Structure 1
Amino acid sequence: MKLSFTLKMLLLSVLVWLPLETAWAQLYLTPQVRPRAEWRNGYQSLPNGQDGAFFVSQRSRITLDYKQDKVQTRFSLQDVRVWGDEAHLKDVPSTAMHEAWGELALSDKFAVRLGRQEFVYNNDRLLGNVDWVQQARSHDGLLLKARWQGISVDAGGAFNQEKEALFDTHYSMNNYKVLGFLWAQKQLGDQLSVSAMHISDGFQRPDTVGGVYFRHTYGLDLTYQRERLQFNGSLYRQSGEHGSGKKIAAYLAVAEAAYTYQPFRFTLGTTYLSGMAGQERKVHSFNTLYATNHKYYGFMDYFINVPADTRQGGLLNTYLKTTFSPKPRYSISLDYHYFALAKNLHASETHAGTNNRYLGSELDAVLQYKHSDQIQFSVGYSNLFAGRSMAAIKPGDASAYADWGWVMVNIQPRILLKSFEKE
């Protein structure tokens, strides 16, 4: 009921105001219903003798987009739940604001966007919206955009506080306190594009009121495409201060080649995330920040929080991906991942050590069917073949059969509510 009332008030206020405008404008409404049934028996963590889990989760989202001359706005409300997680006849408020921003074009080259928004860059490798997760990720911040002569530059930032305080700015939540980034992209001819990014995020020091640990991540992404071949490469370095107070010296390297021969596409690549062994003077484990790791490190999500999911040991992820699209509406993909630690792990009070870096292999199969622009169906099944060293970073039995399956329906029409031109 609360969602319905809020939406009605929002629509009413916009529709009443729109006729007063004389400039070209458009108003779109995009409702989304996305239920997903999952079977989990080794998803994110090794099986431990317990029965597998089955449930249905659902995202119900409604997005209102308005564009008029130099002004754009978006309001996106969502409810995320597991079927049956509320008792009947109970009023449990659960609606959240996923996005709420306004954008003003200062000229034909510059614009500014303010409010709650998604930051998505370079195919989600360090900044992504994690759309696979029903809640998804958004930020409360500011974004400056510039576009001229084939160059794109974005500068964004955020400053988080948990309440309206009278004094001090101490931040106790487990988020960044400060975020700033600069992204630039240039197309060099028809085949080569290059982008550079610098991200700085700051976290509250636990022993001070205003002190912040700052971490810096910076690097380049290259994409070269020629007819059926495509090459991608990334190299990032990480420096600054870790939450432990140690200095950071870590890096990320990516090399990938793809070949398309319709109806097939083959992708071979490797990703290396540096790690550390034992109590070193510096932190050498690379953190993937606010990425959509689900799309890179296996769909069973064993490495969502890198480096915590490797006990700071780093990760080597070598993969071969095949996609078969016999018809425009159908696609079948099969991905293979080879996982290994970047460094050997020493024993701790709670985990065993290992000198065998091989963690295991994963197979991910996905069938997608696009019934229309409004309705899509997806089915997936994954297997993890864990090596003995996986038990050093994940609790459970590495020899047990680990699988995960899911079925998802995405119903998402885009409705034009109002459109008119300048009188």
Structure 2
Amino acid sequence: MLSIGGYDPTGGAGIIADAKTIKLLGCNPLTAITAIIPQNSLKVYSKVDLPKEEIENQLNAIFEDFKVPVVKTGVLNNDAINLILKYQKEYNFKIICDPVLKSTTGYDFTEGNDNNLIDNYFKLFEKSLIITPNSEEYNIIKNFNAYEKLKNNNNYILITGKDDKLIYKNKELRIFKGKTINREVHGTGCVFSSAIASFIAKGYDIVHAIKEAKNLVLSSVIYANKTKYGYNSNPTYINKEVVIKNLNYAIYLLKKMDFEYFVPEVGSNIAEGLVLPKSYKDIAALTGRIIKNKLGNTNNKGNKFYIVGDIEFGASEHIAKIILAANHYDPKIRSCMNIRYSKKLVNILENEDCGFTISSFNRKDEPEHVSSMEWGTKFACKIFGGAPDIIYDRGGDGKEPMIRVLGNDSVDVIKKVAELIKIYKNINNRI
């Protein structure tokens, strides 16, 4: 898949962001630079267009040696548009056009070009499978006379924002609802359009491609890379396959650990959810539990504990309630594991700098007719001011005390559990 657009040295936007997204989705990222655009999360410093000859040399090098089914475009000038139209006529690739007319920081990418740049853009629009302007860019485009013809053409127009509106032949086909994440992230438009292009290259239909790309761009905002003054997009794709893969690897790591002491009497479970899970059905866990080997000897795999059951979505409402509640306070938190309570360990974690954040709840304070796990997790997160690494309680009538380890994913959780085991062993060595 080929991305044609501007070079952003920070990698938050432009062809670097495109290439990261394309590779993440399993496509081969080919790139052609149209302009050098020094920018960051605060401003665009300048825009220097490459000569037509240099743009064409890049395209020649690519099309001579690669089959290109899909081209995604970003910042363009007249020369770039003319070349894309020329190559499209010869190679008949699909075009996903992201008309980058103005940056979120207010820089006008159309300045310094001939007056016919927008007219040229409309020629490109006519050859595009889908056009992905944001609402501001769409308001610019629709005010040109050429839009009257475009709106009735066989082109999809996706007006992007929190909620994305898909239009075809001047009719609204679908609204793709989004979520509000309170941060301004540099490069999300590039990530979104290149994700759509990648899914189309993989054979997805338009609606399915947009839906999956929207999940990806939401993840790229949640997991955005913090800069001094803002955030850079961080292409991240988390689907059910990724969650299952993470859990399988986490369990593989667990089998190599001295975990037997940390298995509670009721057993342990580990779970991981999709991005912004809505219910327990969006969270995968073991259908059984991790249980002690009561005989004390090792099983045939060398462990003093057994892992019972398969990994399935919707397997455990109990542990899912913890993740759902914690995710409300920190959308990065998608995984949890319950382990045996240790007073010695909790005292060390609360009184020494071990690199863990910790909070708790008291079952005696639990209101009537509520979910213990949901209420307890929310209470612990509220008094902490976010989602900590560890939430514990000291038990109650008929309830075993418990430690719950939270993390970004199940592998993150298992690594935290491994560190807790080290700390616990050091406690015993002190005695």
TM-score (norm 1): 0.25
**Structure with the bigger percentage of helix:** 2
Between 1 and 2, higher relative CO (CA 8 Å, sep ≥ 6) is seen in: 1
**Structure with the bigger percentage of strand:** 1
TM-score (norm 2): 0.25
